[in-house]
Structure formats: structure tokens, C-alpha cells
Chains A and B, each alone.
Chain A
Amino acid sequence: MGVGMGTGTGTGTARPEMTATTTPAPVTASALDSPRSLFRFLVRELRPRPPFITTFNVLSIPIVLVGLVILAIRFTQGLGSVTNLNQEFPWGFWIGFDVVSGVALAGGAYVVTFVVYVLKVERYHPIVRVTVLNGFLAYAFYAGGLVLDLGKPWNIINPIIGNSFGFNSVLFLVAWHFLLYMVAEFIEFSPAIAEWMGARRLRRFLQSITIGTVIAGFTISTLHQAGLGALFLMAKSKIHPLWYTEFMPVLFFVSSIFAGLSMVIVEGTLSHRVLKDHMDAEHGAFDKLIFGLARGAALSMFAYYFFKALIFIHEHHWDLMGDFWGNWYLLEILGLTLVPCVMFAYGIRHRSLGVVRAAAILALVGVVLNRLNISIIAFNWFVPNHYYPSWQELWITAMIITCEIWVFRFVVTRMPVLRKAPDFD
């Protein structure tokens, strides 16, 4: 058994504030040395750690427990027992928010890894692991939420195993890309797991394949971000003309860039307040990186806004202005795209963190609203009895987000995500 594993602090789990009283033992052996050492390592690391009574725990445990009951009803009684889905609205909140919006918000991972590993902008290196972890968890939970929405969830494996591949379907591309991208993100994050387990040789191997994985992941990611938009191309007669365009794949891709960067800003700000005990000085200097991330967000938003304006003019949509849908469209385009873009630019120029953070939140709201407009709100907008999500659908979404935060907290409090691992510098 490794020396580090017998110290009680773990090989890679020494927190900065703990180092003042307990010096982490050097890693001389790996948890992978023998099955017994691995078992003991996992038992110790998987054990919950205090404090147990926290505001988040008190709120999240009932959310998950009630959510499990709803899921049990959903899988025994069918989709109709807990959702408001019907033949006119077969895709509801779980697809519109969890999958279509959630995947856009996870776009920060491919942007940041591309900037760091391909463009070699090293100053963003400290946020790579946490961004990739967020991206991976978002895909695992939100895309995993897709299983809940399938009438026959066991058929989700069909596009993978070849039982009716469906080559002509965009869903075939999206299914394979989701799977491959999750594998790519896991490999990109896996050096942190190797460091956590003290596995030096494994970590060396995993680091050697990182650049190839990043390039593959980036390629796959750009394609399936656009592919999500392509899913809606066949619904021309159902989506309001202000939102339907043959350029939806391009818009989905461009919006995923600033959605992902905005998410990195918001998530980084939150985690640097909540998890500051688990950070070292290098990772704690997140504020210095925010303006660089905001620059990328501002430029991509600017391009996105002009794309939208160009499509609006090209499609001759002037006549669609003036009613509720016209005003709703303007709210999304002016209020939640142009305004945050200007706020980003102002915040960068005046070095105002508050303005940049507010812009990031507005941008996130704008992207989510855009995705919900296309998939739910402006979908079948002419139908008298429009779809509204049931409270159970909202509850399950809250449960998915809660579970993701649980796993995120588990990982960053144990693995070297927001700090460097001792002996692995």
C-alpha cells in the first residue's frame, strides 16, 4: 500500500489549509499496486466527509428522494404519468432544457481545451481540468437525461450496437458524437484521476494521448453542437418562422461558444467562492482570466447577433414584427444577446468583474431561452393547447442538476482539479 494512502489525507487529497498542520506524505506507491490497496483506497475515498449538515445538503436530499419516487412512477407507469408530453409535443422540458440547452452550456470544455492545448495559451491551463470536468458531467447527466425521455429507454443502445443504425438520421450522428465526446472528455480528465491514485506510469501514458484526444474531442464537439440544431431542420412547418432557419446548425454552434464561455465565468465564480479551501494560489487567481474569457464571449456573441440580423433580413421577416412573437423574439435578440454583448465589451474595457459576470448570466439566460423557443415555446406555436412542463418534469431536472453538483463536489474535494497534486508538479 502506498505511503500516502496510509496517512489519512490521501495521496492527492491534501487540502491547502490542511498542509499547515499535516504535511502530505510523498507518493511512493500507487493505489493500483494491488487489488487490496485499490480496495482500501476506494473505501477510504468514497466515505462521505463532514460537514454533513450544510444548506446544500439539506435542500438537495429531499429533491433527490422525491425525484427518485417520480422516476419510479415514470418507469413503471410510463411517460404520460409524470409528464405533459403528447403526440403534438413529443419533446418536452427534459429534451429542451436538459439536452438541447445543457449541451450548449457545456461548450466551454471544447473551447478552453482548444485554446490551451492547440493554441498553446498556457495562462488558461489552471481552469482546464475543472472546465473539462464540468463538460463531462454535463454530458453525462444532461444527455443521460435523454434516457428518461425515451418511451423505450433500452433502445438507446441501438444506434451504437448496430440494431437499426439509422444512418440517414441526424440523431445517429448526435448519438455517436455524444458517446465519443464523453469518452474524449473522460480521457482528457483522466490524468487527474491517475494523480489522485498516485499512478505515475498511467498518468504519463494518459498525458501523452491528451493532445490527440483534444483534437478529436474538438472536432466531434463542433459537429454535434451544430448537429443539435440540425435535429430541428425537419420541423420547418412546426417552428415559428422567426426561429426556424436552415442556418440553425451554424447558429447552434456559434451560440455554444459564448454559452460555454459564459458558463465557465459563472461556474468559476461560484466554485471559487464555495470551494476556495480546495484551491492553491495558481487556481485561485481566476479573476485574472475572466476578462480573457469575456473577450471570446463578446466576439462570438457579436458574430451571432449579426448572423441573426442577416437571417432576419434575408428571410424578409419584417411582417412578423408587432405581435407577441415579434416582441418575444426582440427580447431574445436585443435584450439577451445584444445587451450582454455590449455589457461584456464595457466590462472588459472598464475592468469591471461585476458587469462581466452579469453579462455572463444574461448570456446564459439568452441561450437557454433561444433553445427553449426552438424546442418548446415557439414549437407548434399555433396549437391551441400548448405544452407546459409538469411539476414532475421540473423536479426531475432539479434532481439531475443536484446530482451533478454532488458528483462535482465529490471529485473536486478529492482529486487535484483546483490545485496541483503534491509530487506531480
Chain B
Amino acid sequence: MESYSYVNIFETKGLENLLVISFLVMLVFLIKYIGGPAKKR
């Protein structure tokens, strides 16, 4: 039986993948934010 192996995302590409995904998600929010109607101050 195989034992459980912990994957450290700091040593793999995991963190980079998470960063790219978060970039894409945040880019959508940024485009919606700066393209939205002006907020009254």
C-alpha cells in the first residue's frame, strides 16, 4: 500500500499555477472595476 506523500507547493509548480489562476481571476475583476460606471466621491 502506498503511503501518503505530502506535496509541498513551494517546491513544485503548484504555487506558480495558483498565481497564474489568481492573476486571470483578478484580471477579470480589474477590467470590470475600471470599466464600470464612475463612483461618486
Identify the A interface with B (CB < 8 A).
295, 298-299, 302-303, 306, 309-310, 313-314, 318, 344-345, 348-352
Contacts and interface: CB of A to CB of B under 8 A. Distances in A.
A345 B30 contact: yes
Given A295-B35, A349-B36, A351-B41, 15 more contacts: A298-B30, A298-B34, A299-B30, A302-B26, A302-B27, A303-B23, A306-B23, A310-B16, A310-B19, A310-B20, A310-B23, A318-B10, A345-B33, A349-B34, A352-B41
B38 interface: yes
B19 A295 contact: no
B16 A313 contact: yes
Contacts of A318: 10
A344 B31 CA distance: 12
Contacts of A352: 41
A349 B41 CA distance: 10
A295 B20 contact: no
A350 B10 CA distance: 38
A224 B27 CA distance: 27
Contacts of B27: 299, 302-303
Secondary structure class of chain B's binding surface, majority of residues: helix
B31 A299 contact: yes
Contact of A351 (B16, B35, B38): B38
Nearest to A309: B19
Contacts of A348: 34
18 contacts: A299-B27, A302-B27, A306-B19, A306-B20, A309-B19, A310-B16, A310-B20, A313-B19, A318-B10, A345-B33, A345-B34, A348-B34, A349-B36, A349-B38, A350-B38, A351-B38, A351-B41, A352-B41
A314 B16 contact: yes
Contact of B33 (A306, A313, A314, A349): A349
B13 to A, nearest CB: 9
B41 A350 contact: yes
A302 B33 contact: no
A302 B23 CA distance: 9
A314 B38 CA distance: 38
Nearest to B34: A348
Contacts of B19: 306, 309-310, 313
Nearest to A314: B16
Contacts of A313: 15-16, 19
Most buried by B among A295, A303, A313: A313
Closest 7 CB pairs of A and B: A306-B23, A351-B38, A348-B34, A350-B39, A345-B34, A313-B15, A350-B41
Contact of A295 (B15, B34, B38): B34
A19 to B, nearest CB: 35
A213 B33 CA distance: 35
Contacts of B41: 350-352
B32 to A, nearest CB: 10
Contacts of B38: 349-351
Contacts of B33: 345, 349
Contacts of B15: 313
Interface in B1-41: 10, 15-16, 19-20, 23, 26-27, 30-31, 33-36, 38-39, 41
Nearest to A344: B34
Contacts of B36: 349
A310 B21 CA distance: 11
Nearest to B35: A295
B19 to A, nearest CB: 6
Contacts of A303: 23, 27
B10 to A, nearest CB: 8
Nearest to B36: A349
A59 B38 CA distance: 42
A295 B31 CA distance: 9
Contacts of B16: 310, 313-314
Contacts of A314: 16
A113 B11 CA distance: 44
